[in-house]
């Protein structure tokens, strides 16, 4: 074997994932000889656990596993920032799988049966690749730092302020930041922007949603645990706080954290120290904590669900994001932004929403905020066939009554011979005035139109007998004030 093997492989942590004992043994033995520190896993589940607990440089991954495919595992890993290089091994030659593995970030692909020298070479190449990748991701982090703030789209004053505030917060060395806002307003985006605008941009940004896990699991995710801390804890595990050392932890939905864990978090914020579950020694790390919530924490405090001391500690630097309906200027900016983005992504050349559609978009209250808007635009771009996007490309939730009606069944049956719409309108108006004894306000309400429209139609259709009857305006005896809300003529 070339002597360089030892240099590249020495002390490297390697995870060998294969269901065949003979292969695991042979590889483990050989890589130990090369000076590496290999571990083995016989299925995907074991591999996952090991990957969570330990930091591997390289994984030799079999394609067919008893509980899934290597590709699936590779795919799970591909979104993670800290992951080993992967060399796939397979007995089933399929170029398609090979291509897919490479796309998912595998460094190499080795056919079984292989000889061990071949595997060692592949491992060396993969580890060289890892060095390069580290370089690339450092560069990428620098780039990210340069542009993330601009990803916050919107010309409202608030967005402009956020774009200047974020780099200042990021550079201030602040260790705790609280981001609040309704669901979909961009809390995630802001948290990432803070991290990537900070000098620690090339350090980990790890996030966890406090709602997703039970208290004990969440605690061990955050702080890690010692071997034997609980029944399932067969090995010690490093928690997010240790993994993120030097970087940022984003605690999403902090309002859902249990009181017990809140106390532990508070202790950490005050001392920078914590203990692994089942551990006796204090561990010190330096991480920036960005907490987010869409709950009203002050109310949670009153309800006894949130510690006020933790709240004051977190709230030193509050970042509040308003709901989209309170910054309507941003709607059109965001629509334009996502239009371009999805048109590009879906390779469609479209001119964007027309005026009527834009007007509807502007008036929509956006209960799901930017996330809802983004989905609406994506859907429209996806579905559209024409050069521009129209009301018809909007979902009913936005379109409301505009455009086609979506009532099940028909309001009126169109006679086979057809009809003249003006005749229908004239007749309905006449009936309405008859029923309200000529009171135009009341008739207008029956027809769901404005009083001025009634007056106009009375003239237009020559309904002379109603010309001089009451307008209803100021008719307080009949026009009860609680009912005066008239629908807009459109």
Ligand X SMILES: Nc1ncnc2c1ncn2[C@@H]1O[C@H](COP(=O)(O)OP(=O)(O)OP(=O)(O)O)[C@@H](O)[C@H]1O
Residue with Cβ nearer ligand X (88 or 178):
178
Binding mask 423-462 for ligand X (x = CB under 6 A): ----------------------------------------
* Distance in Å, CB of 344 to Mg ion, minimum: 25
Closest chain position to Mg ion (CB): 188
Among 156, 183, 207, 390, binds ligand X (CB under 6 A): 183
Confirm or reject binding of residue 471 to Mg ion (CB under 5 A): no
Residue ranges of the alpha helices (H) in 108-198?
Answer: 116-147, 157-171, 187-196
Confirm or reject binding of residue 186 to ligand X (CB under 6 A): yes
Among 181, 224, 247, 255, binds ligand X (CB under 6 A): 181
Confirm or reject binding of residue 128 to Mg ion (CB under 5 A): no
Binding mask 146-175 for ligand X (x = CB under 6 A): -----xxxx----x----------------
Confirm or reject binding of residue 364 to ligand X (CB under 6 A): no
d(CA 57, CA 14): 6
Among 40, 53, 176, 185, binds ligand X (CB under 6 A): 185
Which of positions 246-305 make contact with ligand X (CB under 6 A)? Answer: 294
Residue with Cβ nearer Mg ion (54 or 188):
188
Q: Residue 154: name its binding partner from Mg ion, ligand X, none (Cβ under 5 to 8 Å by kind).
A: ligand X
Confirm or reject binding of residue 256 to Mg ion (CB under 5 A): no
Among 43, 76, 188, 378, binds ligand X (CB under 6 A): 188
Site size toward Mg ion, by CB under 5 A: 1
Which of positions 178-217 make contact with Mg ion (CB under 5 A)? Answer: 188
- What is the 3 state secondary structure string of 280-294? CCCEECCCEEEEEEC
Binding footprint of Mg ion on the chain (CB under 5 A) = 188
Q: Report the interface residues with ligand X, using CB under 6 A.
A: 151-154, 159, 181, 183-189, 294, 370-371, 374
């Amino acid at each position: 074997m070339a002597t360089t093997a030892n240099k590249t492989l020495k002390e490297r942590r390697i995870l060998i994932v294969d269901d065949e004992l003979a292969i695991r043994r042979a590889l483990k033995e050989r890589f130990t000889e090369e000076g590496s520190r290999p571990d083995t896993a016989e299925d995907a589940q074991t591999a996952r656990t090991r990957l969570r607990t330990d930091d591997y440089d390289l994984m030799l991954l079999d394609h067919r596993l008893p509980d899934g495919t290597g590709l699936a595992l590779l795919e799970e890993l591909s979104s993670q920032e800290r992951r080993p290089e992967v060399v796939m091994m397979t007995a089933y030659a399929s170029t398609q799988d090979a291509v897919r593995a490479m796309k998912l970030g595998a460094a190499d692909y080795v056919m079984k049966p292989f000889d061990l020298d071949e595997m060692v070479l592949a491992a060396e190449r993969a580890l060289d690749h890892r060095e390069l990748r580290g370089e690339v991701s450092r560069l990428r982090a620098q780039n990210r730092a340069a542009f993330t703030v601009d990803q916050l789209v919107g010309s409202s004053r608030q967005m402009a302020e956020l774009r200047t505030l974020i780099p200042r917060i990021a550079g201030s060395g602040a260790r705790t930041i609280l981001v609040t806002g309704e669901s979909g307003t961009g809390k995630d985006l802001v948290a990432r922007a803070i991290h990537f605008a900070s000098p620690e941009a090339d350090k980990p940004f790890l996030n966890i949603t406090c709602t997703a896990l039970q208290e004990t699991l969440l605690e061990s995710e955050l702080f890690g645990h010692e071997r034997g801390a609980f029944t399932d804890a067969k090995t010690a595990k490093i928690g997010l706080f240790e993994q993120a050392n030097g970087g940022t932890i984003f605690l999403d939905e902090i309002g859902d954290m249990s009181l017990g864990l809140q106390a532990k978090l508070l202790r950490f914020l005050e001392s920078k120290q914590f203990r692994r579950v089942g551990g006796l020694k204090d561990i010190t790390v330096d991480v920036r904590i960005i907490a987010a919530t869409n709950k009203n924490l002050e109310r949670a405090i009153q309800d006894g669900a949130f510690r006020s001391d933790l709240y004051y500690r977190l709230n030193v630097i509050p970042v509040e994001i308003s709901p989209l309906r309170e910054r309507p200027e941003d709607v059109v900016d965001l629509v334009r932004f996502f239009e371009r983005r999805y048109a590009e992504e879906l390779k469609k050349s479209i001119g964007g929403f027309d005026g009527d559609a834009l007007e509807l978009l502007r008036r929509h209250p956006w209960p799901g905020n930017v996330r809802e808007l983004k989905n609406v635009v994506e859907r429209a771009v996806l579905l559209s066939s024409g050069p521009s996007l129209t009301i018809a490309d909007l979902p009913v939730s936005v379109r409301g009554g505009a455009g086609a009606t979506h009532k099940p069944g028909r309001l009126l049956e169109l006679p086979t011979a057809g009809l003249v719409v003006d005749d229908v309108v004239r007749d309905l108006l006449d009936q309405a005035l008859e029923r309200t004894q000529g009171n135009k306000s009341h008739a207008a309400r029956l027809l769901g139109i404005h009083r001025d429209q009634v007056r106009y139609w009375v003239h237009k259709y020559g309904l002379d007998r109603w010309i001089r009857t009451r307008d209803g305006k100021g008719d307080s005896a009949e026009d009860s004030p609680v009912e005066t809300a008239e629908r807009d003529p459109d």
